[in-house]
Structure formats: C-alpha cells, structure tokens
A and B are shown apart, each in its own frame.
Chain A
Amino acid sequence: MPQITYIEFNGTPHRLDVEPGLTLMHGARDNNIPGIAADCGGACVCGTCHVYIDEAWRERIGGRTAIESATIEFSNEVAPHSRLACQITITDALDGLVVRLPESQ
C-alpha cells in the first residue's frame, strides 16, 4: 500500500499506509489525523481539507481542478502549492508522498 506522510503544523509527522482509490483526505480523516476537518465529506465544497504538497511532489501531483480552484478560496493561508486533499486520489505512484497541514482549517 502506498505510504503517505502527513505533517502537522507543529511538525508532528504521521506516516500511514493508505489504500489506493481512497483520497488523501480520507487517509487522514479515517485515521483521525488532527488538522484535517473535511466538513463536507469530500464534495469539494468546504475547503477544510487543505494541505500543502511537499516540494518534491508538486510536479507529480499537478494543479488544481477548476472546482477546486473556486473552493480553495474557503481555505486559510492558501499558497501556490496548496491543494484540497479530497481531490487527490491515492495511487501506487504516490507511494512516499509528503504533505503538510495548515495552522487551521
């Protein structure tokens, strides 16, 4: 299973195996990682699953979808490498992915 690392704002890392087909948001939420709220459950309407993609992975992960671009305006402290975790589906190719969580959702 692809291994994903979520790093909390305070620096605490959480390394998890996430089943391919789930989203990056579900990986965090199902394992109760603090720092992901995901209020809408992955419908891409709330912006509370905001993550920063680690530098090494930015190109491979790619840019936001059109709807995500609108919804991410609901998130705080958005950066160019910000993504909504519910819009990223885990595949084997993402094994080793590292994402950082914002200060608040």
Chain B
Amino acid sequence: MNAVNKPAPHWDPYDQQYFANPYPAWSRLREEAPLYYNEQYDFYAVSRYEDVERGLFDRDTFISGKGGILEMIKQNVPIPPGVFIFEDPPLHTMHRSLLTRVFTPKKMNALEPQIRAFCAKALDPLVAGGRFNFIDNLGSEMPLRVIGMLLGIPEEDLKSVQHRVNENLRTEPGKASDYSEHSFVGEGYEDYLDWRMKNPSDDLMTELLNAEFVDETGTNRKLTRDEILIFINILAGAGNETTNRLIGWTGKVLAEHPDQRRQIYENRALIPQAIEELLRFEPPGPSVGRYVAKDTEFHGQKVPAGSAILFLVGAANRDERKFTNGEAFDIHRARVPHLTFGYGFHACLGNALARIEGRIALDEILNRFPEWHCDLDNAYLSSTSTVRGWETLPAYTPKAGKAPVSIGAAIAKDNAPSGEKWKLLLKTPMGPQEMIMTLTRDGASFSGRIESPMGSEAVNGGKIEGEKLSWVMEVTKPAKLKVTFDVTQSGETMTGTAKLGMFGKAALTGKRV
C-alpha cells in the first residue's frame, strides 16, 4: 500500500465527526496504531483487546487516583477521599468493599418485581398511541427510580434531586480547582440522609449509616456523613446515565436488526445474551482513562510516566483477534467477555444491576411493542468523555407511523415571529450541557437570554450574518468565564462551537423548540 496517500490514523474524542460512528477510526487505530498518541490533546490510547485488558488490570502502572476521565487527569483535579472510582489501594479496596455486599446479583435480581413495575408505569400509557421514546419515557426514568428506591428517596422527590446532582456532575470536574472538590459531595441528598439518621429503614442509606470498617489509620469506625454523601453521589452518577444509554442503544440497534429482534420476541430466553451483545456492540462508556504512574511500553513504544492514557473499550470490544466478525451485531455469538464494564480492580460494581435493568427493560418493551422504528430525524446522539448514546430517541410502531409535526407547536411558532426559542446542547469536555436560548432578532443583531443549570445569563453582542449567528455569554459559575458562540443556522437546527475561555472549544448543536 502506498503510505504517502494514506493519512495516519486519527481519532479526536471531542470532534463531532467521530460521535455518530467512531468505529472506522477505531478499527484503523487497532490495526495501524495500536499505541496511538494524540498530539493536540496530549494523550495516548490503546484499542486492542489484549492491551486494554492488560492496562486496566495493571493498577500500579495505570492509576485511577488522578481521575478516570481525560480532562480530570490532565487538569489534576483534587479528588476527596471516598470517591473510590478514582482511588488506588489501600483506600480503594477499603471503600469499595463497603459497598460490595449491596450490589450482589442475588440482591439485584430480587428487585425484579419493582423494576418491572417501573417499566409498566412508564410504558403502559403509551401503548395505545403506538409511540414512545426510549430515553424520555424509559431510560431517564427507570434506572433513576431503581437507584432512588435502593437509597430510600421518596419517588416524588427523585427528579429534583437528580437535577441537582446532574448540575454537579456535568459542570464540575473541569472547572477551576477551588471548586472542584465540591463536585463529588452528594449535594441534593443531605436532607434525606439527615432524615434517615433519625428514621432508620432497610435501605442503602441506613446500611451505610450502620456499616463499620477499619480505616486507613487502623481505627474501627462508622462512615461520616460526608463520606456517605460521596458514596451516594457516586452510585447515582455511575448508574443512571450509563444504564440510560444502554436502553437507548437497545432501541436503536434492535430496530436496525429486526430479524434478531423477532427471534428475541419469540424466545425471551435469548434476552440475557442479547443484552451482552448490545453491551459489547455499543458500550455506553466507550473509554476509560488512567494516569501513567511509571514508564511503560506498548508494542515496543514508550509511554512515559506522567501521561494520560485512554483504554478504548469500544474499540477492544470489536477486536477481530478476540471477536470473530467483531463489527457485526450477532446475539448468537460465542460468549467472549466484553470489556464494557471495565476490567480488574475497578470493574463495574453495578454490573449486576445494569444487566437486570437492561434485560427487564427489553422484555417489557417487547411485551408492549413487538416492533418499532426509530425516528432518527428527531433523535439526538451525544458523546462526552464519559458516555456515548442517545439524549432522546423517539420510536413508533409500524401501525402508528411517525409522529406528525405537532400542529399546536407550528401555530405557536407562527404567532411569535420575533421571539424564538432554541434548545442548545453544548458538549463540554465535562459532559453535555443543555441550555434554552430565547432570542429576539432585530435586523443584523439580536438580543436574548440563555437558561441553563448554571443560571440565567444575558446574550451579549448578538450578530446575524446570513445564516451565521454569533454572541457572547459571561458566566460566573462554575468559574468566571467568557463563552463565545459561533453557529450556523439551517432552518430549524443550528450547529457550531462555543469557546469556553481557556478551557477550549466545545461543539454545539441546537434545535428550535
């Protein structure tokens, strides 16, 4: 092959061109650059199964203590004790073992009736209409309710708690360091914990309140309030978004493989292996990051101490060396373990819960909707450093057909020619950030406001040049930052970038609402 004609393989975790389908790029990394170095963001990545497995098992060389997300590792965010997902021994071992007993497959399987009930409640009202949304109706509902039930949070309060937690999770890790410790504390859960201290029950909060352990000083003690809050925050953070994405991928991938879907519909005993194949094929968290604590090598090339490295689980899961015909979706393939739940000492603690949730969700969907199509024109895919999957995924049965454009919404839009409302999604390195922008056009300029979990901010210097819009927004939280937006509008959608001060650029997409 003529090397001159072929550019070196490339993959950029922040570039939108790779979001929808990163697999061709990963396939080239696997074959041509098994140790890949990205100069622009200064990180290494390995993509072969064997290398990902080796790296994730070697916790002395590849440590978690500086974070598991590229930006955290690079920005050296301090991590408070208790955030065991980002800890190394001995603290990691100590903290994780406190939770081990809570997430056993036996205990998780016992939740089946409640999980089924949550699915029924979410889906039953939609059966008659024949239209449902894998994310809005199920993925963003059920896992949250299950974790809430485990923790003992009253159902009616869950959404508001989740909102506060998301604010934290999404905006925190990359912010200026004097705020960063804040992100891990279970804000939003304090009131419940204080209440539980006075009203013990049989939930996880009570269990954590009573748990005794030997700490790093050799003292036998109970967990502090802050430690429990951190644990709760990790569980809610690690378990909801990821399982939500699994449910989205279930909808998308099975719609594209109707034959296999029919087989599962007819033989529900295939569900566990179907979920394993979905987890392999589209892992909700396609990469796991580590800090390189000492010099090491992959394929004879050096990786110096102090580097950041990404283990590309999503690439390893399709490595032909391990999976025959790895790029194909096949629920009947021989059982070879995928790496979607990680590997080694930090392997996912909640995998039994995620699996049972995924299996029940699929079963309950099939009970009500044996066949569906996805409305991809109105679906929305996002990819961040931690999760890749659908933010919204509308679907419809063949009989119901696609949802028509809502007449009400069309009239409302016609009647308000000057006041436009846009839903923007900013893919910050720390996670997706949703915002609502209202804008009023005035010739070549416009004014407006942006509402986001960070607050409400005015739009400054709004300029319109044909299809191009630009504006500036000053935010004070999480850090004082000037955000410069440049977007191109085409009809009802816009795409572009936002420059986040010194934190670099983030991709932006918007939809008129």
A: residues with CB less than 8 A from B are 37, 39-43, 45-46, 66-67, 70-71, 73-74
Q: How far is the CA of A24 from the CA of B246 in the complex (A)?
A: 35
Chain A contacts for B345, CB-based, 8 A: 40, 43, 45
- Is residue B301 within 8 Å, beta carbon to beta carbon, of the partner chain? no
* Contact pick for A66, options B97, B105, B352, CB 8 Å: B97
Q: How far is the CA of A39 from the CA of B338 in the complex (A)?
A: 9
Chain A contacts for B198, CB-based, 8 A: none
Beta-carbon contact of A71 and B347 below 8 Å: no
Chain A contacts for B343, CB-based, 8 A: 40-41
- Is residue B24 within 8 Å, beta carbon to beta carbon, of the partner chain? no
B: residues with CB less than 8 A from A are 53, 57, 93, 96-97, 100-101, 104-106, 337, 343-345, 347, 349, 352
Beta-carbon contact of B104 and A74 below 8 Å: yes
Chain A contacts for B93, CB-based, 8 A: 67
Q: How far is the CA of A99 from the CA of B394 in the complex (A)?
A: 52
Q: How far is the CA of A17 from the CA of B193 in the complex (A)?
A: 54
A-B contact count (CB 8 A): 39
Chain A contacts for B53, CB-based, 8 A: 41
Q: Which residue in chain A gives the minimum CB-CB distance to B343? A: A41
Chain A contacts for B349, CB-based, 8 A: 45
16 pairs, CB–CB < 8 Å, chain A vs chain B: A39-B337, A39-B347, A40-B343, A40-B347, A41-B53, A41-B57, A43-B57, A43-B345, A45-B344, A45-B345, A70-B100, A73-B101, A74-B100, A74-B104, A74-B105, A74-B352
- Closest beta carbon of chain A to B207's beta carbon, Å: 13
Beta-carbon contact of A43 and B337 below 8 Å: no
- With A37-B337, A41-B57 known as contacts, the answer to whether A67 contacts B97 (CB < 8 A) is yes
* A-B complex: 4 closest residue pairs judged by Cβ atoms: A70-B100, A43-B345, A73-B104, A43-B344
Q: How far is the CA of A73 from the CA of B104 in the complex (A)?
A: 6
Chain B contacts for A37, CB-based, 8 A: 337
Q: How far is the CA of A73 from the CA of B100 in the complex (A)?
A: 9
Chain B contacts for A71, CB-based, 8 A: 100
- With A67-B93, A73-B101 known as contacts, the answer to whether A46 contacts B347 (CB < 8 A) is yes
Q: Which residue in chain B gives the minimum CB-CB distance to A38? A: B337
Chain A contacts for B104, CB-based, 8 A: 73-74
Q: How far is the CA of A41 from the CA of B339 in the complex (A)?
A: 11
Chain B contacts for A42, CB-based, 8 A: 57
Q: Which residue in chain A gives the minimum CB-CB distance to B105? A: A74
- Closest beta carbon of chain B to A44's beta carbon, Å: 8
Q: Which residue in chain B gives the minimum CB-CB distance to A71? A: B100
- Closest beta carbon of chain A to B3's beta carbon, Å: 37
Q: Which residue in chain B gives the minimum CB-CB distance to A45? A: B347
Q: How far is the CA of A61 from the CA of B82 in the complex (A)?
A: 34
Q: Given contacts A67-B93, A73-B104, could you give 10 more A-B pairs where the C-beta distance is less than 8 Å? A: A39-B337, A39-B347, A40-B345, A41-B53, A45-B96, A66-B97, A67-B100, A73-B106, A74-B100, A74-B105
- Closest beta carbon of chain B to A76's beta carbon, Å: 8
Beta-carbon contact of A41 and B344 below 8 Å: yes
Q: Which residue in chain A gives the minimum CB-CB distance to B106? A: A73
Q: How far is the CA of A74 from the CA of B349 in the complex (A)?
A: 11
Chain B contacts for A39, CB-based, 8 A: 337, 347
Q: How far is the CA of A46 from the CA of B337 in the complex (A)?
A: 13
Q: How far is the CA of A71 from the CA of B53 in the complex (A)?
A: 21
- Closest beta carbon of chain B to A9's beta carbon, Å: 17
- Closest beta carbon of chain B to A82's beta carbon, Å: 14
Beta-carbon contact of A70 and B101 below 8 Å: yes
